[in-house]
C-alpha cells in the first residue's frame, strides 16, 4: 500500500507526535508513506491532489479544505483519512465567535473522508456531525525517552516547569499573578520555561531553556512540578493535553486547569491537582512545594498512568486504523 500524507507543516509538534512518530510502524506494516507539505499555489495544489491517483489513499493532517481543495481532492483523492488534534473549527484568538467559513471547511474535510481520527472526545463529537466513521486516538509519546538518568542540580530550589510552543505561552502569562505570589512565599522556587519565547517574573527567577528534541526530556526530568494552565473556551477544550503526558512520563506531579482532557489526564489528589482559580493554583502549588514526599508519590503514579499513551501502544492502533481504512471495501 502507498499513503500520501499531506500536512501544513511537517516540522510542527502535532505532526511529529501524531504522524511522524508512527511512520516506521506504518512502513513495517507494509504501507509506504510519502510526506508532503501542502503548497500555497492553486496550480501546485491541484498537481499534488492529482498525484494522489498513484496512492491507495491520503492522510490529511490538520488541514481544513477550502472549496477548491475539496473539489480536487474529491476528484483525485480516493480514500481520505482526516486526522486532527486541535479545535481547528474555531479561532484561538476569538474562540467564542463561530466562523461559518472555518466550520464549512472543517465539515468539508470531515465529510469527504472515509475515516476521521480525532485526538479526544470533544473533537470527535464535532467530527461526528459530518462523518459517522470517527475514531478517538490520543497523541502518543515515547515514554522510553524519559527513562534515562538525569541528575538534578545541586541547589535546593524547587523548579516549576512549563513546556509549550510560542503560540501557547499566553496561557502561562495568565498564571503570572499566582506565580508572583508563590515566589514571594517561597523564595527558593524557580520557574523553568521550555520554549522558544519566554517571560519574566518579579518575585521568582526564570530559567529559560530553548526547546529542542534533544534536551526536552532532560529539562522536564530535572524539574519538580509541571504546570498546565488553560483558559476555558471553545478552542482550548479541544487541546489534547500532551504536556501533561510529558510531565507524567518525566515523573512530575502536575497542577492543571480542569479544561478538556486535562480533567481526565490529571487524577486530582493522585497524580496532581486541578486548579480552577487563582487561590486554588496558589494553594495546590504551595502544598506540593512544601511536601517533597507528595511530589514523589504523585510523580510515580503519573508515570504509571502514562504507559498507556506510549507510542508502542498508540502506534498499533494507529496502524490498524490506517490499514483498515485503505483496504478495498472498507467503507
What tens digit of pLDDT does each residue of 86-113 get?
Answer: 999 999 889 888 899 999 999 999 999 9
What residues contact residue 123 under an 8 Å CB cut-off, 6+ apart? 84, 85, 86, 87, 238
7-14 mean pLDDT? 91
Closest CA to 201 of 222, 227, 224, 219: 227
User: Are residues 223 and 91 located together in one domain of the fold?
Assistant: no
3-state secondary structure of 67: helix
Average pLDDT for the chain: 94
Total residues found in the chain within this entry: 331
Instruction: Using the predicted structure, report yes or no on whether residue 199 has a pLDDT greater than 90.
Output: yes
pTM of the model: 0.94
- Lowest mean pLDDT, pick from 31-40, 154-163, 249-258, 297-306: 154-163
Q: What is the pLDDT of residue 159?
A: 97
What residues contact residue 250 under an 8 Å CB cut-off, 6+ apart? 146, 217, 220, 221, 223, 226, 299
User: Are residues 279 and 159 located together in one domain of the fold?
Assistant: yes
Under DSSP, the state recorded for 22 is G
What residues contact residue 263 under an 8 Å CB cut-off, 6+ apart? 274
What does the DSSP assignment read for 96-111? Answer: TSPPHHHHHHHHHHHH
User: Are residues 198 and 109 located together in one domain of the fold?
Assistant: no
139-153 mean pLDDT? 86
- At 16, the pLDDT band (50, 70, 90 cuts) reads very high
| Strand order through the sheet with 134-136 | 32-37, 2-7, 57-61, 80-84, 115-118, 134-136
203-226 mean pLDDT? 96
Q: What is the pLDDT of residue 155?
A: 74
- At 154, the pLDDT band (50, 70, 90 cuts) reads low
User: Are residues 104 and 162 located together in one domain of the fold?
Assistant: no
Q: What is the pLDDT of residue 194?
A: 98
Alpha helices (H) in the chain, listed in sequence order: 13-18, 23-28, 42-51, 67-76, 100-111, 121-127, 169-173, 176-185, 216-221, 242-249, 262-265, 278-289, 292-306, 311-326
Q: What is the pLDDT of residue 149?
A: 77
Distance CA(284)–CA(280), nearest Å, equals 6
CA distances from 35 to 3, 8, 79 (A): 9, 11, 16
Tens digits of residue pLDDT in 259-287: 999 999 999 999 999 999 999 999 999 99
Report yes or no on 331 lying in a domain: no
Report yes or no on 108 lying in a domain: yes
Tens digits of residue pLDDT in 130-139: 999 999 999 9
Which residues form the domain of 45?
2-140+311-326
Distance CA(131)–CA(148), nearest Å, equals 43
- At 119, the pLDDT band (50, 70, 90 cuts) reads very high
User: Are residues 273 and 296 located together in one domain of the fold?
Assistant: yes
User: Are residues 210 and 261 located together in one domain of the fold?
Assistant: yes
Q: How many CB atoms lie within 10 A of CB 194?
A: 22
- At 43, the pLDDT band (50, 70, 90 cuts) reads very high
Check which CATH number belongs to the domain holding 224 and give it. Answer: 3.40.50.2000
Dihedral of CA atoms 187, 189, 193, 199 in degrees, nearest 10, equals -20
Instruction: Using the predicted structure, report yes or no on whether residue 329 has a pLDDT greater than 90.
Output: no
The count of structural domains within the chain is: 2
User: Are residues 164 and 300 located together in one domain of the fold?
Assistant: yes
Amino acid at each position: 500500500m502507498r499513503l500520501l500524507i499531506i500536512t501544513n507543516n511537517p516540522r510542527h509538534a502535532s505532526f511529529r507526535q501524531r504522524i511522524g512518530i508512527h511512520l516506521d510502524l506504518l512502513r513495517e506494516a507494509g504501507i509506504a508513506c510519502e510526506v508532503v507539505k501542502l503548497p500555497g499555489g492553486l496550480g501546485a495544489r491541484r498537481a499534488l491532489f492529482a498525484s494522489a491517483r498513484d496512492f491507495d489513499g491520503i492522510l490529511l493532517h490538520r488541514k481544513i479544505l477550502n472549496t477548491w481543495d475539496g473539489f480536487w481532492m474529491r476528484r483525485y483523492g480516493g480514500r481520505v483519512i482526516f486526522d486532527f488534534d486541535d479545535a481547528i473549527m474555531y479561532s484561538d484568538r476569538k474562540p467564542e465567535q463561530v466562523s461559518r467559513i472555518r466550520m464549512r471547511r472543517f465539515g468539508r474535510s470531515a465529510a469527504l473522508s472515509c475515516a476521521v481520527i480525532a485526538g479526544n472526545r470533544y473533537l470527535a463529537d464535532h467530527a461526528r456531525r459530518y462523518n459517522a466513521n470517527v475514531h478517538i486516538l490520543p497523541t502518543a509519546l515515547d515514554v522510553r525517552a524519559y527513562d534515562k538518568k538525569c541528575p538534578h542540580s545541586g541547589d535546593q530550589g524547587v523548579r516549576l516547569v512549563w513546556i509549550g510552543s510560542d503560540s501557547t505561552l499566553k496561557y502561562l502569562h495568565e498564571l503570572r499573578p499566582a506565580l508572583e505570589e508563590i515566589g514571594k512565599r517561597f523564595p527558593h522556587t524557580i520557574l523553568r520555561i521550555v520554549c522558544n519565547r519566554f517571560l519574566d517574573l518579579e518575585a521568582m527567577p526564570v530559567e529559560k531553556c530553548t526547546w529542542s528534541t534533544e534536551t526536552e526530556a532532560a529539562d522536564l526530568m530535572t524539574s519538580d512540578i509541571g504546570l498546565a494552565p488553560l483558559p476555558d473556551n471553545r478552542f482550548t477544550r479541544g487541546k489534547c493535553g500532551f504536556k501533561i503526558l510529558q510531565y507524567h512520563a518525566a515523573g512530575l506531579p502536575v497542577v492543571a486547569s480542569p479544561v478538556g482532557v486535562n480533567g481526565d489526564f490529571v487524577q486530582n489528589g493522585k497524580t496532581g491537582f486541578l486548579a480552577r482559580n487563582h487561590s486554588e493554583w496558589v494553594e495546590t502549588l504551595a502544598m506540593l512545594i512544601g511536601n517533597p514526599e507528595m511530589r514523589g508519590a504523585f510523580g510515580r503514579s503519573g508515570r504509571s498512568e502514562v504507559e498507556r499513551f506510549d507510542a508502542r501502544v498508540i502506534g498499533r492502533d494507529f496502524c490498524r486504523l490506517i490499514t483498515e481504512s485503505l483496504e478495498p471495501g472498507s467503507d
